[in-house]
Amino acid sequence: MLAGLVDWQSADGKAITREFEFPDFGRAMAFMTAVAVRADRIDHHPEWSNLYRKVSVRLTTHSAHGLTKLDFELAAYIDEVAQGFRG
């Protein structure tokens, strides 16, 4: 399923990661807020960090000790959302 995602990587097969860069801090935070709303709704929360206009995201399913379909679905959603905040 990783092949269906752009720019996501997996070093160990137990998580997928991607870094996003936005024009400014406000858009980076707006992106994180939009993702947080969906993540909370589906009860699947990313491990992430923010440094000014960069957001690093790591997805894994702790209860499964690795990747599940939910990680890839959330990654696709995150990619969609990111497009709206980059321009």
Query: Does residue 15 sit within a domain?
Result: no
Q: How many domains is the chain partitioned into structurally?
A: 1
Distance CA 15, CA 84 (A): 25
Give the CB-side neighbour count of residue 32, counting CA atoms within 13 A.
23
Express each pLDDT in 17-33 by its tens digit. 999 999 999 999 999 99
> What pLDDT score does 24 carry?
97
Domain that holds residue 49: 2-10+29-86
Q: Give phi and psi for 20, each to the nearest 5.
A: -115, 145
Is the overall model pTM greater than 0.85, yes or no? yes
Q: What is the C-alpha separation between 43 and 46, in angstroms, rounded?
A: 10
Indicate whether 56 belongs to any domain: yes
Q: Is residue 20 part of a domain?
A: no
